[in-house]
Structure 1
Amino acid sequence: MKNQSQAMAYGLATVLLWSTVATAFKLSLREISPVQLLFIACSASVVVLALVLVLQRRWHLVFSLSRHQYIQSLGMGLVNPCLYYFLLFGAFDRLPAQEAQPLNYTWALVLAYLSVPFLGHRLRKVDVVAGLICYSGVVIIATRGDVLALSFSDPLGVAFALGSTLVWASYWIIATRDRRDPVVGLFLNFLCGLPFIALACGLTDGFGFGLGQGVMAALYVGIFEMGIAFVFWSYAMKKAENTARVSNLIFISPFVSLVFIYFILGEVILPSTYIGLVLIVAGLWFQQWVKAKAPMPEAVPHE
């Protein structure tokens, strides 16, 4: 049953959770490596999503898919969580949270560009203009305001962050042809990806982590960012009478995230971060506003 008030409540809850994860990433990465963070978070998310399916009495759907859909789960699991979060956590490991987090928000713009060759969409002037606005913000953040010198604070970290947007956008283009239940699909993707993540962890940094702040933050990421936030957002979309109003809530997240980054991580927010973030959000908002009457296929935004 549609209920806009409930949709907005679920949307706001999701945005609040997304606003905390950049801080959780950095807290975790202070003590453990990106691949260890990925292993712990993915394991937690598999458990949470399984519990959600059991509580919703949809667990039987996990065993009712076709052979092709199980193979699809394996392929999509290699993309998300394996490749996507490896790049994302790699970016946060190398960059301050205030830089990595805004760069990741450009995934929506990349989605519009990739939809041209892969979904047959037409590239409009709004996409070009939005791209110029957004990526001018990216350059300002990545160079910490020293635009003319084009000296990036950490070129590899910036590459990881922008690479993660490419992978995330590609994932959602693939997902447009996914006919599985959303929660079942995400659960199977993560379940299929987990053995590869465990293998990578075992062959590199190992499993020698204690139950400290790093592990607790990683569990938070898995439970909330990879699990509950997705479920809440799905509820918000299902109950929304006006999905655009709910979708617009995502523009709150990066600014709220800076509050957590400042007070919890103690990062001094640079003027270049504010300027770049405003440009990125303005470009994305402009793109969505112009395309309001002809929206892209629904996808799940990200922190």
Structure 2
Amino acid sequence: MKDQRQAMILGVTTVLLWSTAATAFKISLEHLSRTGLMFWGVTFSILVLVAWQAWQGRLGETLRPGRKGLLLSLGFGLINPILYYILLFGAYDLLPAQEAMAINYTWALTLTYLAVPFLGHRLKAVDALAGLICYSGVFIIATRGDPLAFDLSNGPGVVLALLSTLVWAFYWIFNTRDTREPVAGLLLNFLVAWPLILVLALWDGWQWPAWKGLAGAAWVGAFEMGIAFVLWLLAMKKATNTSRLSNLIFLSPPLSLGFIALIVGEPILGSTVVGLLLVITGLYLQQHVHSRSQ
């Protein structure tokens, strides 16, 4: 049944979980390699999604995808979790959490641009304006407030962060053609990718993680990769006004900065705040205009 109040509660809970992701990534990467964090994160996520599907009575159906379903999951799994998280964790490994987090939020704009050639969407003037505002913010963040010097704080890290937005946008474009139940599809993608991730982790030099690394990976896998995905789907199903629900996403970046400052202990730069405000402004402008035109 539709219930906007329940949808908003679920949405706020999801946003709070998303807001902890940057902090969890940064802390976990102090104790785990990128591939190690991906392996343990995906492992814990699989456990959560298996439990959810079992509770829903859909586990048996989910685990019988057929040959076509397995091939589809292999393709999706190579993109997410493998390629996406290699790039994302690489960015968090090289950049301060505040910078990687802020740049990563531009994926929604990347999705809008890629939807033009791949989905046949029309690009509006507001999309170009939103892009100018957002990427101006990214440039301010990446140069730490000195854009005229054109000196990136960490060039490879910035490139990895931007590439992660590209891969994530492609993943959601391909998902528009995926007719499977979303949680079942995600679980199968992770299950098929898991052996490949294990090989990558072994090749990268396997080490049993310290408890802090394992706890961080458990949080990333269970909440950022697993529970948050399920809660957001439930929120969307309950919502009578999806625009109000979607606007909750804009609470996540400032909350993320707060967690980064309090838990990671990073001093929040003024350039990050200014740049992030520009990113949020651009994204909000784009979403507000598109929601009014629907």
C-alpha separation in 1, matches of 2:187 and 2:64: 14
C-alpha separation in 2, matches of 1:169 and 1:294: 22
Structure 1 unaligned blocks of 5 or more? 296-303
Q: Which residue does the alignment assign to 1:264?
A: 263
The 5-angstrom pairing of residues 140-219 of structure 1 reads 140-206=140-206, 208-219=207-218
C-alpha separation in 2, matches of 1:11 and 1:256: 14
Shift of residue 57, structure 1, vs aligned partner: 1.1
Shift of residue 257, structure 1, vs aligned partner: 0.7
Q: Does residue 1:284 correspond to 2:289, yes or no?
A: no
Shift of residue 18, structure 1, vs aligned partner: 0.4
C-alpha separation in 1, matches of 2:278 and 2:80: 28
TM-score (norm 1): 0.95
Contact 1:35-1:205 within 8 A present in 2 as well: no
Letter in 1 for 2:276: L
Q: Which residue does the alignment assign to 1:254?
A: 253
C-alpha separation in 2, matches of 1:216 and 1:129: 42
Q: Which residue does the alignment assign to 1:6?
A: 6
C-alpha separation in 2, matches of 1:293 and 1:177: 25
Shift of residue 88, structure 1, vs aligned partner: 0.4
- Matched residue of 2:268: which SS? coil
Q: Which residue does the alignment assign to 1:15?
A: 15
Contact 2:63-2:188 within 8 A present in 1 as well: no
C-alpha separation in 2, matches of 1:46 and 1:178: 20
Shift of residue 56, structure 1, vs aligned partner: 1.2
Letter in 2 for 1:227: G
Q: Which residue does the alignment assign to 1:244?
A: 243
Contact 1:77-1:190 within 8 A present in 2 as well: yes
Contact 1:42-1:190 within 8 A present in 2 as well: yes
Q: Which runs of 4+ in 1 moved over 6 A?
A: none
- Matched residue of 2:259: which SS? helix
C-alpha separation in 2, matches of 1:94 and 1:161: 10
C-alpha separation in 1, matches of 2:218 and 2:248: 25
- What is the aligned-residue identity percentage? 56
C-alpha separation in 2, matches of 1:203 and 1:144: 35
TM-score (norm 2): 0.98
State which drifts further: 171-180 or 211-220: 211-220
- Matched residue of 1:86: which SS? helix
Deviations along 1:88-115, one digit per CA (max 9) or x if unpaired, are: 0000000000100010000000000000
Structure 2 unaligned blocks of 5 or more? none
Q: Which residue does the alignment assign to 2:92?
A: 92
C-alpha separation in 2, matches of 1:136 and 1:92: 21
C-alpha separation in 2, matches of 1:197 and 1:125: 42
Q: Which residue does the alignment assign to 1:298?
A: none
Deviations along 1:111-135, one digit per CA (max 9) or x if unpaired, are: 0000001001111111100000000
Letter in 1 for 2:205: D
Alignment: residue pair count: 294
Letter in 2 for 1:210: P
Q: Which residue does the alignment assign to 2:49?
A: 49
C-alpha separation in 2, matches of 1:142 and 1:286: 22
Contact 1:92-1:157 within 8 A present in 2 as well: yes
State which drifts further: 101-110 or 212-221: 212-221
Shift of residue 294, structure 1, vs aligned partner: 4.5
Q: Which residue does the alignment assign to 1:301?
A: none
